[in-house]
Amino acid sequence: MSAENNHMKVAVVGAGQMGLGIAHAFAISGYQTLLIDIDPGQTAKAVVAITDLIEGGARLGKLSAEAAAAALERLSTSEVLADCVGTDLLVETATERLDLKVRILAEAEPLMAPGGVLATNTSALSVSEIAAGLAHPERVVGMHFFNPVHKMKLVELVRALATDDETVAKARAYAAGLGKTSILVSESPGLTTSRMSAMAGNEAMYMLMEGTASAEDIDTALRMGFNHPMGPLELGDLTGWDTRLSVLRYLHQTLGDKFRPCPLIIKMVAAGRAGRKVGHGVYKYEQGVKVPGSGLRASTL
Ligand SMILES: NC(=O)c1ccc[n+]([C@@H]2O[C@H](COP(=O)([O-])OP(=O)(O)OC[C@H]3O[C@@H](n4cnc5c(N)ncnc54)[C@H](O)[C@@H]3O)[C@@H](O)[C@H]2O)c1
């Protein structure tokens, strides 16, 4: 696969937790990968994390030392979107804000290679709305990845109102090129996964706020009772409550009151407790590891 993909240019815009995972996936799968972020601190952090992932993969025997070195060579970074000129696939994965995503795609569209695909990793925004002002909205598709990208096998593809069959087929081929399984969703707020997971995370926060059970017990309930690999509060910490809140606000606006964001999420985001990425969410984290017994308690709310 690597040799086949080597001539394909992929740009990943946004070097946060998703951008670094997506860039890693493309680089190890043989694509020339450019990771772009307006914040050079973010790209620098992402390169360290990607290098760790690649070197870790080599240590585990998932790729050879040569393949690891080649993957790192395929990866480059920039602070400037204009550097994505001649890109075959651009995956926009910047902060979850409609105006930002619209601006990034509008600026990138004229720079793409002929027939290039513009994909957005939005969790819940309308891909049709993101694509609306472009010259070729038929080349825009949702490619929704999961966190952490190197472990999660699914890519949820989103067909927007204008997306054509060729673009869907190309997006499916790119997902397959990463060794991922894709499903196709007709655009609808929150798709399948974000809608389900926003609902479960919001309900878990209401239960925590009401003192129904401790954070640890709510998470254990879903892990042990339903065989979920993570509880809804642990998952919210991983996703980031800031991202989760944006998703909930959008679902509340589009799908109604059942998605009204829990006041505890609003309070946590206002307090800067966005989750694992800042070391503190429902739980505390030290060097990325959850501190036992650190879950928020109703008595302290
Ligand atoms: N976190 C998740 O679990 C998850 C899962 C699937 C999809 N998503 C979606 O992926 C996107 C990114 O989420 P994240 O969790 O990686 O966020 P994040 O906050 O970790 O990273 C966002 C990055 O975007 C960068 N950015 C902002 N404006 C930019 C611009 N104009 N150009 C380039 N970069 C810019 C920021 O500097 C930051 O590094 C969002 O749309 C989110 O909804 C997130």
Note the pLDDT tens digit of each residue in 219-232.
999 999 999 999 99
Residues 182 and 91 in one domain: yes
Count CB atoms within 10 A of the CB of residue 198: 27
Q: Is residue 295 in a domain?
A: no
Residue 124: give the domain boundaries: 2-186
Residues 236 and 176 in one domain: no
Which portions of the chain are predicted below pLDDT 70? 1-4, 299-301
> Ligand 1: which of 243, 244, 247, 277 to mutate, judged by most atoms within 8 Å of the beta carbon?
243
The tokens for 52 are 């760790």
Contact 241, 261 (CB under 8 A): no
4, 139, 298 from 118: Cα distances, Å: 21, 6, 44
The tokens for 125 are 């925004």
Residues 41 and 85 in one domain: yes
Q: Is residue 298 in a domain?
A: no
Residues 26 and 137 in one domain: yes
> Ligand 1: which of 78, 95, 99 to mutate, judged by most atoms within 8 Å of the beta carbon?
95
Residues 44 and 182 in one domain: yes
User: For residue 38, what is the domain's CATH number?
Assistant: 3.40.50.720
The total of structural domains in the chain comes to: 2
Count CB atoms within 10 A of the CB of residue 270: 9
Q: Is residue 178 in a domain?
A: yes
Decide whether any atom of ligand 1 lies within 6 Å of the 19 Cβ: yes
Residues 139 and 228 in one domain: no
Residue at a domain's end among 186, 211, 244: 186
- pLDDT for residue 5: 74
> Ligand 1: which of 123, 145, 235, 251 to mutate, judged by most atoms within 8 Å of the beta carbon?
123
Residues 173 and 72 in one domain: yes
Q: Is residue 146 in a domain?
A: yes
The amino acid occupying position 253 is: Q
Residues 132 and 54 in one domain: yes
Question: What is the Å distance from ligand 1's center to 113 Cα?
Answer: 24
Each residue of 139-158: pLDDT tens digit? 999 999 999 999 999 999 99
Q: Is 183 exposed, middle or buried (0-12, 13-18, 19+ CB in 10 A)?
A: middle
Residues 32 and 136 in one domain: yes
Whole-model pTM: value is: 0.84
Question: What is the Å distance from ligand 1's center to 224 Cα?
Answer: 31
Residue at a domain's end among 186, 212, 238: 186
Decide whether any atom of ligand 1 lies within 6 Å of the 197 Cβ: no
Q: Is residue 131 in a domain?
A: yes
> Ligand 1: which of 36, 37, 92 to mutate, judged by most atoms within 8 Å of the beta carbon?
37
Q: Report the percentage of the chain scoring pLDDT > 90.
A: 92
Question: What is the Å distance from ligand 1's center to 81 Cα?
Answer: 15
Closest of 260, 257, 237 to residue 247, by C-alpha:
260
Alpha-carbon distance of 262 to 2, in angstroms, equals: 45
Question: What is the Å distance from ligand 1's center to 237 Cα?
Answer: 15
- pLDDT for residue 7: 81
Query: Which residues have C-beta within 8 Å of that of residue 188, sequence separation ≥ 6?
Result: 195
Q: Which residues pair with 155 in a beta bridge?
A: 182
Count CB atoms within 10 A of the CB of residue 104: 23
- pLDDT for residue 298: 72
User: For residue 273, what is the domain's CATH number?
Assistant: 1.10.1040.10
Peptide bond into 232 cis (omega under 30): no
Residues 165 and 205 in one domain: no
Residues 271 and 243 in one domain: yes
For residues 271-299, one letter each, b for 16 or more C-beta atoms within 10 angstroms of the residue's C-beta and e for the rest, the string is: eebbbbbeebbbbbbeeeebeeebbbeee
Count CB atoms within 10 A of the CB of residue 56: 12
Closest of 31, 33, 59, 58 to residue 47, by C-alpha:
33
Q: Is residue 280 in a domain?
A: yes
Decide whether any atom of ligand 1 lies within 6 Å of the 93 Cβ: yes
Contact 294, 283 (CB under 8 A): yes
Rg (CA), the chain: 19
Helix residue ranges per DSSP H, the chain: 2-5, 17-28, 40-59, 65-74, 98-108, 127-131, 165-177, 193-210, 215-226, 232-239, 241-255, 263-270
- pLDDT for residue 260: 98
Residue at a domain's end among 146, 166, 186: 186
Residues 68 and 115 in one domain: yes
Question: CA end-to-end span of the chain, whole Å?
Answer: 52
Decide whether any atom of ligand 1 lies within 6 Å of the 42 Cβ: yes
Q: Is residue 299 in a domain?
A: no
Q: Is residue 297 in a domain?
A: no
Write the Ramachandran bin of 190: left for phi over 0, alpha for psi from -120 to 50, otherwise beta: left
Residue nearest to atom 43 of ligand 1 (CA): 123
